[in-house]
């Protein structure tokens, strides 16, 4: 496969400009080529946390040195470019997620086709999103809020997200589409201030990841109306998942993360990584570390992972098209 430029405005990533961090050095052949685990976001975030926890264990099972490379920028797409511009020999492992599929849909300048350009190794985790409102809001359920929207009309209730084209945006757009209502989208530049503004009533509602929402839910400062995952969240057993609501039967919109290799990587290499990832994610201590961070370990082997992504991608496309979501 020929190399493909993902963003017309992005320059080539110059060799040697990255600052990788060693996270695992397994005992084995010291001459074996290291594996670079490419993460599309800066160090210190949730994606970086998952990469470091998983990478350390994965390195042990592959008897290879695993290095984390944080290639931040363009909603994670520069990381994908780094992988596609490299060799298809397993030395570059890409940590992808919902952005890998959604960003090319909302930004025409991105030419990544996950289904043809990448090979899924396996799914690692899911992170539920929570649709939340301030404690004083007069809604006890999503149905209550939808009823208020129908009474109040277009833009009578707003919802905050970390930005246009994020999965949180798609979650709100899905509610608008399926319930035939019109909440007003309030995009922030990242999610840092959303919870404080939600608690203070500066916004009517917000789409939050579970790890961000839980401290405020525990303190009773906000209320959860819905969760986006395929199952109810153990920490919020009384909150309905979106697929249980009238008009949303069977639907789910979890954030997910997994590992990919460049298309053309030998099948034996893909299979070896798949096996090692499965063993890695079975470790109780690793699962607990991720659970403590609000991240659910949800392993899927490569073929199953691909089968999971395809209908999710179709749902994303439907939401993006019907809601006319664009980042341009």
Per DSSP, the three-state class of 132 is: strand
Q: Are residues 121 and 137 in the same domain?
A: no
- Does residue 84 fall inside a structural domain? yes
- Does residue 328 fall inside a structural domain? no
The per-residue pLDDT for 42 is: 86
The per-residue pLDDT for 76 is: 87
Q: Are residues 226 and 150 in the same domain?
A: yes
Cα–Cα distance between 323 and 327 in angstroms, integer? Answer: 13
Q: Are residues 207 and 185 in the same domain?
A: yes
Last residue within a domain, chosen from 244, 279, 295: 244
Number of separate domains in the chain = 2
The per-residue pLDDT for 15 is: 36
Q: Are residues 56 and 103 in the same domain?
A: yes
- Does residue 2 fall inside a structural domain? no
Q: Are residues 104 and 39 in the same domain?
A: yes
Residues 76 and 41: beta-carbon distance below 8 Å: yes
Question: Residue 32: which domain range?
Answer: 21-126+256-323
Q: Are residues 143 and 213 in the same domain?
A: yes
> How many residues comprise the chain?
328
Exposure string (b/e) for 3-36, b if CB count within 10 Å is 16 or more? eeebbeeeeebeeeeeeeeebbebeeeeeeeebb
Per-residue pLDDT tens listing for the chain (328 residues): 433 444 443 333 333 334 444 444 443 333 478 999 999 988 888 889 999 999 999 999 999 989 999 999 888 899 999 999 999 999 999 999 999 999 999 999 998 999 999 999 999 999 889 999 999 999 999 999 999 999 999 999 999 999 999 999 999 999 999 999 999 999 998 777 999 999 999 999 999 998 889 999 999 999 999 999 989 988 899 999 999 999 999 999 999 999 999 999 999 999 999 999 999 999 999 999 998 887 889 999 999 999 999 999 999 999 999 999 998 6
Q: Are residues 48 and 137 in the same domain?
A: no
Last residue within a domain, chosen from 207, 223, 244: 244
Q: Are residues 133 and 227 in the same domain?
A: yes
CATH code (residue 308): 3.40.190.150
- Does residue 294 fall inside a structural domain? yes
- Does residue 11 fall inside a structural domain? no
Q: Are residues 96 and 137 in the same domain?
A: no
Number of H helices and E strands in the chain, helices first, is: 11, 12
The per-residue pLDDT for 174 is: 97
The per-residue pLDDT for 266 is: 97
* C-alpha of 192 from chain center: 17
pTM: 0.85
- Does residue 12 fall inside a structural domain? no
The per-residue pLDDT for 119 is: 98
Q: Are residues 122 and 260 in the same domain?
A: yes
Q: Which residues contact 3 (CB under 8 A, 6 or more apart)?
A: 84, 85
CATH code (residue 239): 3.40.190.10
The per-residue pLDDT for 3 is: 39
Q: Are residues 59 and 135 in the same domain?
A: no
Last residue within a domain, chosen from 244, 275, 298: 244
Q: Are residues 225 and 311 in the same domain?
A: no
């Amino acid at each position: 496969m020929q190399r493909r430029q993902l963003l017309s405005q992005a320059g080539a990533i110059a060799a040697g400009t990255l600052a990788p961090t060693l996270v695992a050095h397994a005992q084995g052949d010291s001459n074996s080529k290291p594996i670079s685990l490419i993460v599309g976001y800066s160090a210190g975030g949730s994606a970086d946390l998952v990469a470091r926890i998983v990478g350390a264990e994965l390195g042990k099972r592959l008897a290879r040195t695993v290095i984390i490379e944080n290639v931040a920028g363009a909603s994670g797409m520069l990381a994908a470019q780094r992988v596609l511009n490299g060799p298809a020999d397993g030395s570059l492992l890409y940590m992808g997620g919902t952005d890998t599929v959604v960003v090319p849909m909302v930004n025409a300048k991105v030419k990544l086709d996950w289904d043809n350009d990448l090979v899924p190794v396996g799914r690692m985790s899911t992170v539920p999103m929570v649709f939340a409102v301030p404690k004083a809001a007069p809604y006890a359920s999503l149905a209550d809020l939808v009823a208020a929207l129908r009474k109040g009309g277009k833009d009578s209730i707003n919802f905050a997200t970390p930005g246009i084209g994020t999965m949180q945006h798609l979650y709100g757009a899905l509610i608008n589409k399926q319930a035939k209502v019109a909440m007003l989208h309030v995009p922030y530049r990242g999610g840092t201030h959303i919870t404080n503004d939600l608690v203070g009533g500066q916004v009517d509602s917000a789409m939050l990841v579970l790890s961000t929402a839980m401290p405020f839910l525990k303190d009773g400062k906000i209320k959860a109306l819905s969760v986006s995952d395929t199952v109810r969240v153990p920490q919020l057993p009384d909150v309905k998942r979106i697929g249980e609501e009238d008009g949303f039967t069977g639907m789910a919109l979890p954030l997910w993360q997994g590992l990919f290799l460049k298309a053309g990587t030998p099948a034996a290499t893909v299979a070896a990584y798949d096996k090692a990832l499965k063993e890695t994610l079975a470790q109780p201590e690793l699962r607990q570390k991720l659970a403590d961070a609000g991240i659910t370990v949800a392993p899927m082997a490569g073929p199953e992972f691909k089968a999971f992504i395809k209908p999710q991608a179709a749902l994303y496309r439907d939401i993006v098209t019907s809601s006319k979501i664009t980042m341009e």
